[in-house]
Amino acid sequence: MSKIIRSVSACLMLVLVFSCLPEARAEDSAQVKEHLAAAKKLAGKDWAFTLDYLSKSGDEIVAMNVLPKANSPAIEPRKVFDNLYILGQKAISNFAITTPDGIILIDTGYDGNTETILLPQLKKLGLNPEDIRYVLLTHGHADHFGGAKYLQDHYKNIRVGLSAQDWDFIPTQGKGAKPTRDLVFAEGQPITLGGETVTPVFQPGHTPGTMSFIFPVTDGGKRHMVLLMGAVQLNPDQKNVPWQQLDTSILHVAEVAQMMHVDVELANHPIWDGSEPKMEKILTRKPGEPNPFVVGEASHQRLMKLLHECAQIQIGRASAGPS
């Protein structure tokens, strides 16, 4: 019954969003209105939720009460591809890529949740934490690196990777456990384990050294390519908002994604991409049914163009100042 309720609520959420796509604000410039019109055309039905979310102001997003918190409820961990698993919490996802030589873990959640959420979820999926060889961090915020120090302290043969910029950035991120500086990765330097390769793509803006990751997965033996973006928006409380830098990064990631034939979209914060219904479908998916996370190359590139338009909307509104 609870699964039915979750599925119905997820579908209703998308229906409501699609029925009320954002309208231009009275104070919007002609240029902002042009970007919003372009964004609506790009969104269609499949990315309507994304447009609605990413066109909101920081205050509006805070008021939605959907941002990640250390006490956000844990999700039901699940296998989404032959070699990829999603685990974590309601608003913050971690990913485990399995290989013949061990596990690549992407992001670790909050400090204090490793023993209560991350490790039990891995074990529930039949994955042994002792097999983790790489911990790849998308960026230096506590909801992503929080569990990395625990893993360094309790398991051997683990390398923790982050961009140089965000290794320098982590010490500024308040209290809580912080990983010991270890592997520094950069664009053009793939991480390979057991025949699986993760390609980092530099995406500064959300933090000084945010990274997106592109990597192959298989579904019933068929190969697909995933883009896991390090971030698509800025913190609502960020001052001197670097929207232009983030937009430049989005365009760069889009170019690399197109070159690498990305056809799967995943989010480490599944609050902006409308993926909740997909998360439910994967739990009840029957043999032969399509994988809901495979969107296709054309749809994925349309999403990337939409992210650019949403960034331009925010740039236009920010340049106009407070209304």
196-233 pLDDT tens trace: 999 999 999 999 999 999 999 999 999 999 999 999 87
189 pLDDT band (50/70/90 cuts)? very high
Instruction: Tell me what pLDDT residue 59 has.
Output: 85
Complete edge-to-edge strand list for the sheet that includes strand 92-99: 78-81, 84-89, 92-99, 102-106, 132-136, 159-162, 183-184
Instruction: Tell me what pLDDT residue 9 has.
Output: 47
**Residue % of the chain over a pLDDT of 70:** 90
Q: Rounded distance, CA 95 to CA 84, Å?
A: 7
Q: Rounded distance, CA 111 to CA 182, Å?
A: 18
- The tens digit of pLDDT for each residue in 91-120 reads 999 999 999 999 999 999 999 999 999 999
Q: Rounded distance, CA 315 to CA 305, Å?
A: 15
- The tens digit of pLDDT for each residue in 225-259 reads 999 999 987 665 555 668 889 999 999 999 999 99
Parse the chain into domains and list their residue ranges: 2-320
CB 120 within 8 A of CB 177: no
2-320 under CATH 3.60.15.10, yes or no: yes
pLDDT at 1 over 50: no
Instruction: Tell me what pLDDT residue 176 has.
Output: 87
Instruction: Please compute the mean of the pLDDT values over residues 161-189 and round it to a whole number.
Output: 94
Where are the strands (E) in the chain, listed by range? Answer: 78-81, 84-89, 92-99, 102-106, 132-136, 159-162, 183-184, 191-193, 196-202, 211-219, 222-229, 264-267
- Mean of all residue pLDDT scores within the chain: 90
And the tokens for 95? 């990913």
pLDDT at 22 over 80: yes
Lowest mean pLDDT among 18-32, 126-140, 178-192, 255-269: 18-32
